[in-house]
Structures are given as structure tokens and as C-alpha cells.
Amino acid sequence: MCFLLSIAILSGCSIYSSAGRKQFEQKAPTEIVQSFSLQGCRNLSSAETWFKEEFPSNQSELVEMNSDYEVWARSLENSAVEVTVLTKADSNSNESSQSCVYQFDSKEIWQQHKKAFLQDLAKSLSDID
């Protein structure tokens, strides 16, 4: 039953190109933007947002968390690092939370650019507000 509910929730999500992501990539220094690739962004339903908050993946490490977003990282089999940014929707608005997945080619590249990535992400999201 839970499996079917998960599939129903996930099938309702669409990948799209958000204004926040575009603004982040435009304002980020070129060397940072080139160090990773955007795998996709999508809106999350209320149920999926709750599920991700209550039951985070045991394969992912929490990198940064604040009231507006969470950043999670996990190593992939090919030595790449997948970074997921969960942007939380304002509880007073009709907007939904958003998940964007980025991929860094290696752990070394992630470690090298992590601080700048997080700073630019924070700045980008604060500029949208």
C-alpha cells in the first residue's frame, strides 16, 4: 500500500526549470557553475515534502539546513556526488516545496566547491525573497 502511494505521489511531479535555479546559475561564478550539472528540479506535493522531512535517506548526509532550505549530499557508485536542495515553501502561500538535484563529478570537486556553492545558493534564494 505504501509503495503504491509513493508511486502515485512521484508520478504527479514534473521536472521543470525554476526561476530560482536560473538566477542561481546566472549569478554564480563560472568556475562553480561548470563544476556541477543540474539533473532536474520539480515541485513536491505536501505528502512527499512531509515524507522527505520525516524519513530522510540513510544514504544522504545533511550538509546545511535552515528555515528556507536543506542541502543533502550522497556519494554515487561512479564516485560522483549528488547534491539535493530542498527549498521549503512558505506555509502562508499556495506554493509547493521544490527539490533540485545537482551532480558533481567527484568528491574532490564537491569538497573544493562546496563552500562557494552553499554561499551562492543562500544568496540566490535570499534575492528571490
Helix, strand, coil % in the chain, rounded to nearest 5: 40, 25, 30
Domain ranges of the chain: 2-128
- The closest alpha carbon to 9, from 103, 96, 100, belongs to 96
For the chain, 129 residues long, the average pLDDT of each consecutive 10-residue run is 37 51 60 75 89 85 91 93 90 81 94 93 74
* Burial track 56-80 (b if 16+ CB lie within 10 A, e otherwise): eeeebeebeeeeebbbbbeeeeeeb
**Cell 512531509 identifies what position?**
50
Predicted structure pTM score: 0.69
